[in-house]
Amino acid sequence: MHTLERKWQTLLEQLSSMEGVVVAYSGGVDSTFLANAAFLSLGERVVAVTGVSPTLAARELEEAKALASAIGIRHELVFTSEWENPAYRNNCPRRCFYCKEALFFLLAKKKDKLGLSAVVDGTNVDDLKDTRPGMEAAARFDVGHPLLKAGFTKQDIRQKSKELGLPTWSKGSFACLASRIQKGKRLTLEAIKRVEKAEDLLAALGFVQYRVRDFGNLAKIEVGEDEIGRFREEDLRRSVREHLNGLGYRFIHIDPRGYRVPGVYRLP
């Protein structure tokens, strides 16, 4: 049995040993893979729960709903309260802690209400390479990390997702919209919505991996390294420029280095 298959079997055995789980589910690559594995292992004893807040793009929420329906897993929404926390809106280095704290508090309550045994999330081996204040919040609420425990890397997750026929295997890596705002700059709903509308256009244009970083009057666009060449098309540049100018960005910068996705992979 090769290494990836051993990890997969370890994951299924690990999940099957639980009495039932709530999966912290965003519809991204990692949480969709985990939700699918949990559903295969536990069936009706697993619930995927998505935290809804102003920093979750509407298109991401709709995609999460569609993916959950395709998997067949029970899917519920909870409305998180991190935006009400002034410390969160101050966009300090611990912003992610406040966000995860609000989410995991609700997921723990959901777990108890449904009589399930654990809350789990999609943390994996590669996540340990980054500074992640959310891990502190996960520890506080005893959130399990089955993918990490089974030894899955991001590349493993994409490869196995492809084998399983999950469309997320080639999905871009995303984070909440708050991550697009310059650190230390206070978060506002106006800025969050402006970024969302800017990224909506890139999604509509067919970009797979993208970010629009907000620096006040300046928008810095990052796309996958293999997608940067598309900006040589005059019509595409014009569409992007007009759309972002209309949102109030005076200056637009295309990062020539592109966005480097954690976990190397190639899109089809």
pLDDT in tens, 72-105: 999 999 999 999 999 999 999 999 999 999 999 9
Q: What percent of the chain is predicted at pLDDT more than 70?
A: 96
Phi, psi angles (nearest 5°) of residue 168? -75, -5
List, in order, residues 6 or more apart from 236 with CB less than 8 Å away: 205, 230
Domain residue limits, the chain = 3-170, 188-254
**Which pLDDT score, from 0 to 100, does residue 264 have?**
39
pLDDT in tens, 186-242: 999 999 999 999 999 999 999 999 999 999 999 999 999 999 999 999 999 999 999
The CATH number corresponding to 3-170 among 3.90.79.10, 3.40.190.10, 3.40.50.620, 3.40.1160.10 equals: 3.40.50.620
